[in-house]
RNA sequence: GGCCCCGUCGUCUAGUGGUCCAGGACGUCAGGUUCUCAUCCUGAAGAUCAGGGGUUCGACUCCCCUCGGGGUCACCA
């Protein structure tokens, strides 16, 4: 078997969304699975659509999710350069070979004339086929003129690693443009030359290319290139597709998720689960497991919707699986301004309490606010509380006073706090629903918080007692 | 419009002729875990396998038709 070499070859036309990225991830997985090579190539042959900075963006997506490329832009490799705009001579060379073999010719028409042909076909409700207007004596081609492939229409059957056996008739094969008048090759031509020169073994791309595959097959023959393994990836659809699951993808920028504090492990796990599974009931996969178990044959043929709820759940699973120190190291950029005054040890303890209720890091400020600053007294928390609203302010105050007396004696270790809180239950004859609720509210003024004893232990004696006193005065 | 691809719980999916009156996960709902939120545990609802015809002793699985969705028909990728 030939060495496995896969590539991801995006065009630098904007940010990368989850759908694009998954294609790259799968190509990466195939390479790693077979101990092969993963190439990151840039298809920048359309200068008009190019968006500055997208190459950096693309690379960052891979870097941030921990997917290294062995050859490609920035890192180089034996088949450099890996930007198509820097490989122009190569395309011209192959174009000349095709011209000399009588398999390519100059397109003598103006864009307007071609457009007229197209409209004609449209009016007749027929698909447009340039070859029906193939000129009899085309001028000799030279750079600056559009060059077309002289196709040889025929039936094709081919195997797609994902879609299975596919076929198409000669009616879909046409004389497409090889080299544009600006001297740049089209994707249709350039990717075939590059894949051949770079020894790419698996061409993994979106299923929108299925329709043009017969043309590529025809070109492979004209060039006498070996066919690579072909794999068409189904699309990822919008989550809120409702009835009109129309528009494809619509997914967010991959980096947006990273900015919101989703873990690379979870992103890779989740994206790979969109359209792939290993046939067992396993849901959580490490990158290593993915590498071992992945196969194109098990990729789904139908499109998948991007369900953020499921991503949230999965990210939570990964957050809970990390130890706190590791988690803290990764969460550094997500703490609120008010946390600046506190040291790493304190924030790590806070994070320890947040860990099991965090879905992604961007939630940290909202969930941890009361650990860093006194929240305003909000009497509604008391008045709207199902248990507390049955009691008068004086009764509640009396409970707090009793608690205050006991807590003043505490060393504020979680163990001692737990013991005292339990003793307070006996002493006041109250249910936890009442006693703990009022203490929790009086020390956090937050609608929710981690367990009372743990929260007080992290808050510490000074802050806890000070807030208790302030609340006593405010009630 | 031509050609091509797809169609199992709301969502991601298991399923390759019988072990499926269809299994798992997310989500939802209910209950439990000394307060809240979350975690964790238990349970429930949820898919006439898009519909209709065949083939077969037997079909989610094979064939045909219909419907629905998507892709493509660029000097874009």
Per residue in A173-226, pLDDT tens? 999 999 999 999 999 999 999 999 999 999 999 999 999 999 999 999 999 999
Nearest in space to A245 (alpha carbons), one of A304, A308, A205, A312? A304
DSSP A377: P
Phi, psi of A326 (to 5 degrees): -65, -45
The protein footprint on chain B, as nucleotides within 7 A of a CB, is: 1-8, 10-15, 23-27, 34-40, 69-77
Q: For residue A99, how far is the Cα from the chain centroid?
A: 43
Of these residues, A47, A74, A154, A247, which one is catalytic?
A247
Q: Provide the pLDDT for residue A248.
A: 46
Determine how many CB atoms are found less than 10 A away from the CB of residue A369: 17
Rounded mean pLDDT of A376-384?
A: 93
Q: Provide the pLDDT for residue A251.
A: 60
In terms of Cβ atoms closer than 10 Å to its own Cβ (0-12, 13-18, 19+), residue A232 is buried
Average pLDDT, chain A: 94
Give the whole-angstrom CA distance, residue A253 versus residue A60.
12
Residue reference for tokens 């490329």: A69
Give the whole-angstrom CA distance, residue A445 versus residue A429.
24
The answer to which of A10-24, A73-87, A207-221, A345-359 has the lowest mean pLDDT is A10-24
A470 has a pLDDT exceeding 60: yes
Give the whole-angstrom CA distance, residue A175 versus residue A74.
35
Phi, psi of A38 (to 5 degrees): -110, 130
A443 has a pLDDT exceeding 70: yes
Radius of gyration of chain A (CA): 32
Phi, psi of A313 (to 5 degrees): -60, -50
A62 has a pLDDT exceeding 90: yes
Give the whole-angstrom CA distance, residue A56 versus residue A15.
10
Buried b (16+ CB within 10 A) or exposed e, A59-72: bebbeebebebebb
Q: Please, are residues A468 and A407 in contact by the beta-carbon 8 Å criterion?
A: yes
Two tokens, residue A359: 């879905």
The percent of residues above 70 in pLDDT, for chain A, comes to: 97
Q: Provide the pLDDT for residue A244.
A: 41
End-to-end alpha-carbon separation of chain A, Å? 78
For residue A419, give the nucleotide whose C1' atom is nearest its CA. B34
For residue A354, give the nucleotide whose C1' atom is nearest its CA. B38
Q: Each residue of A228-243: pLDDT tens digit?
A: 999 999 998 876 544 3
For residue A180, give the nucleotide whose C1' atom is nearest its CA. B75
Give the whole-angstrom CA distance, residue A50 versus residue A87.
17
For residue A432, give the nucleotide whose C1' atom is nearest its CA. B35
- Catalytic residue list contains A247: yes
For the CA of A317 and the C1' of B39, the distance in angstroms is 10
State which residue has its Cα closest to the C1' atom of B15.
Answer: A279
Determine how many CB atoms are found less than 10 A away from the CB of residue A302: 8
For residue A300, give the nucleotide whose C1' atom is nearest its CA. B13
Nearest in space to A271 (alpha carbons), one of A9, A26, A10? A26
For the CA of A242 and the C1' of B51, the distance in angstroms is 20
Give the whole-angstrom CA distance, residue A428 versus residue A398.
10
Q: For residue A194, how far is the Cα from the chain centroid?
A: 27
For residue A422, give the nucleotide whose C1' atom is nearest its CA. B34
Two tokens, residue A118: 């197209």
State which residue has its Cα closest to the C1' atom of B76.
Answer: A46
State which residue has its Cα closest to the C1' atom of B70.
Answer: A246
CA distances from A170 to A102, A151, A209 (A): 20, 10, 17
Give the whole-angstrom CA distance, residue A77 versus residue A7.
13
For the CA of A60 and the C1' of B32, the distance in angstroms is 46
Bridge-partner residues for A147, per DSSP? Answer: A106, A179
Q: Please, are residues A420 and A353 in contact by the beta-carbon 8 Å criterion?
A: no
pTM beyond 0.80: the answer is yes
For the CA of A51 and the C1' of B66, the distance in angstroms is 45
DSSP A301: S
For the CA of A178 and the C1' of B1, the distance in angstroms is 28
For the CA of A275 and the C1' of B16, the distance in angstroms is 18
List all residues 6 or more positions away from A449 whose beta carbon is below 8 Å from its beta carbon. A370, A440, A455
For the CA of A281 and the C1' of B44, the distance in angstroms is 21
Q: Please, are residues A319 and A60 in contact by the beta-carbon 8 Å criterion?
A: no
């Amino acid at each position: 078997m030939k060495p496995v070499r896969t590539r991801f070859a995006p065009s630098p036309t904007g940010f990368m969304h989850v759908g694009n990225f998954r294609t790259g991830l799968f190509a990466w997985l195939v390479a790693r699975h077979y101990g092969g090579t993963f190439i990151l190539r840039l298809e920048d042959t359309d200068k008009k659509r190019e968006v500055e900075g997208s190459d950096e963006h693309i690379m960052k997506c891979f870097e941030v999710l921990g997917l290294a490329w062995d050859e490609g832009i920035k890192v180089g490799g034996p088949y450099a350069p890996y930007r198509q705009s820097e490989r122009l001579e190569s395309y011209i060379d192959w174009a000349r070979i095709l011209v000399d073999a009588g398999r390519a010719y100059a397109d003598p028409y103006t864009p307007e004339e071609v457009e007229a042909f197209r409209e004609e076909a449209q009016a007749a409700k027929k698909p447009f086929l340039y070859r029906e207007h193939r000129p009899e004596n085309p001028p000799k081609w030279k750079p600056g003129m559009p060059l077309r492939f002289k196709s040889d229409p025929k039936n094709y059957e081919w195997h797609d690693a994902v879609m299975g056996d596919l076929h198409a008739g000669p009616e879909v094969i046409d004389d497409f443009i090889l080299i544009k008048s600006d001297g740049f090759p089209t994707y249709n031509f350039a990717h075939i030359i590059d894949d051949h020169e770079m020894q790419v073994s698996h061409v993994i791309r979106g299923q929108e290319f299925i329709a043009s595959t017969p043309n590529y097959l025809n070109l492979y023959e004209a060039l006498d290139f070996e066919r690579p393994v072909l794999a068409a990836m189904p699309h990822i659809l919008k989550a809120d597709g409702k009835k009109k699951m129309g528009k494809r993808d619509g997914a967010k920028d991959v980096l947006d998720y990273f900015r919101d504090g989703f873990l690379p492990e979870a992103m890779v796990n989740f994206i790979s689960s969109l359209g792939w599974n290993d046939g067992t009931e396993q849901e959580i996969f490490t990158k290593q497991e993915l590498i071992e178990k992945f196969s194109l044959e098990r990729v789904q043929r139908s499109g998948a919707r991007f369900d953020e709820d499921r991503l949230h759940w999965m990210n939570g699973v990964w957050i809970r699986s990390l130890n706190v120190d590791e988690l803290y190291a990764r969460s550094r950029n997500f703490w609120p301004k008010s946390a600046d005054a506190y040291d790493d040890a304190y924030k790590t303890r806070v994070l320890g309490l947040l860990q099991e209720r965090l879905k992604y890091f961007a939630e940290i400020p909202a969930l941890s606010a009361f650990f860093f600053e006194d929240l305003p007294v909000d009497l509604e928390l008391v008045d709207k509380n199902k248990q507390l609203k049955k009691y008068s302010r004086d009764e509640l105050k009396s409970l707090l006073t009793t608690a205050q007396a006991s807590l003043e004696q505490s060393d504020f270790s979680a163990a001692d706090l737990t013991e005292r809180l339990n003793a307070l239950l006996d002493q006041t004859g109250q249910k936890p629903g009442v006693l703990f609720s009022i203490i929790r509210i009086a020390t956090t003024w937050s609608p929710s918080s981690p367990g009372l004893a743990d929260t007080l232990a992290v808050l510490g004696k000074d802050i806890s007692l000070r807030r208790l006193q302030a609340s006593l005065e405010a009630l």
